[in-house]
């Protein structure tokens, strides 16, 4: 089944309760789309996102799922398809971060980050590619740290590097069904997962001398999903205000 490439479309945003997810849900809603607002634990924040979606001119519904479990991912897709009949755009945004060097990383931290950043993205891609048709769009949320090594964020960096390769492989497979797969690779943004004490350092990295905003990543996602970018697939697009361009060394130094 082909999917619509013009508004209104059904857009599934995972991790839509805050930060980039919230901004993306609202940005897609501003185009008149229907938003499947996914959350894991923060129901109150998810409800706030849904209210913002409706205020922006869109419509939608809430969907709860623990994306670290494959059975929950499949249930999420079942419920979204049951409610709306289709999904036209998927933004795999849900993620986790953590701080640890290799030598002191506990198994639990490793598993929690890899499960949500890699496993969840992989099996969401699986469900989306199986179910979506011609014209479908999948966007994965990567990070500039997928290519820039940061010793004390080793698990996070590794997970986002995996997301980049997943995107490129998935684009080959999904392209045979007419589905485009790309990734955004944001630098630090607010609101997001940036520790407050790191904000001045990140502001200093960019020639614009500021930190990015979640809405700027969201705008890129909307652009990627548009029919104007129908020949763009298998790409990882950095959005960081040239902040990491040519950067050497470690951010902990």
Active-site residues: which are they? 156
Q: What SS3 state is found at 116?
A: helix
In angstroms, the CA 153 to CA 232 distance is: 30
* Percentages (nearest 5) of helix, strand, coil residues in the chain: 45, 15, 35
In angstroms, the CA 127 to CA 92 distance is: 12
Q: From the CB of residue 169, how many other CB atoms can be counted at a distance below 10 Å? A: 14
Tokens at residue 81, please? 């398809």
H helices of the chain, where? 19-29, 43-55, 70-84, 107-114, 120-131, 154-175, 199-205, 214-225
Q: From the CB of residue 196, how many other CB atoms can be counted at a distance below 10 Å? A: 7
Place of tokens 């993205």: 121
Contact 28, 13 (CB under 8 A): yes
């Amino acid at each position: 089944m082909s999917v619509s490439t013009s508004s209104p479309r059904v857009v599934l945003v995972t991790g839509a309760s805050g930060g980039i997810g919230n901004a993306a849900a609202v940005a897609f809603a501003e185009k008149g789309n229907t938003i499947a607002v996914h959350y894991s634990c923060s129901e109150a924040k998810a409800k706030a996102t849904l209210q913002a979606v409706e205020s922006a001119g869109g419509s939608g519904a809430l969907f709860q799922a623990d994306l670290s479990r494959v059975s929950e991912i499949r249930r999420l897709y079942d419920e979204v398809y049951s409610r709306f009949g289709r999904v036209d755009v998927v933004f795999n945004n849900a993620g986790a971060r953590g701080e640890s060097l290799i030598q002191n990383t506990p198994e639990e931290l490793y598993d929690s980050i890899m499960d949500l950043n890699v496993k969840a993205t992989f099996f969401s891609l699986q469900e989306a590619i199986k179910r979506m048709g011609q014209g479908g769009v999948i966007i994965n949320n990567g990070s500039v740290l997928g290519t820039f090594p940061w010793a004390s964020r080793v698990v996070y960096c590794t997970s986002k590097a995996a997301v980049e390769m997943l995107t490129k492989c998935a684009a080959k497979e999904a392209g045979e069904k007419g589905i485009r797969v790309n990734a955004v690779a944001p630098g630090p943004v607010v609101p997001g997962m940036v520790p407050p004490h790191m904000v001045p350092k990140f502001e200093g990295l960019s020639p614009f001398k500021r930190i990015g905003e979640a809405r700027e990543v969201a705008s890129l996602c909307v652009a990627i999903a548009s029919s104007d970018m129908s020949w763009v697939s298998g790409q990882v697009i950095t959005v960081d205000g040239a902040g990491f361009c040519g950067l050497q060394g470690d951010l902990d130094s």
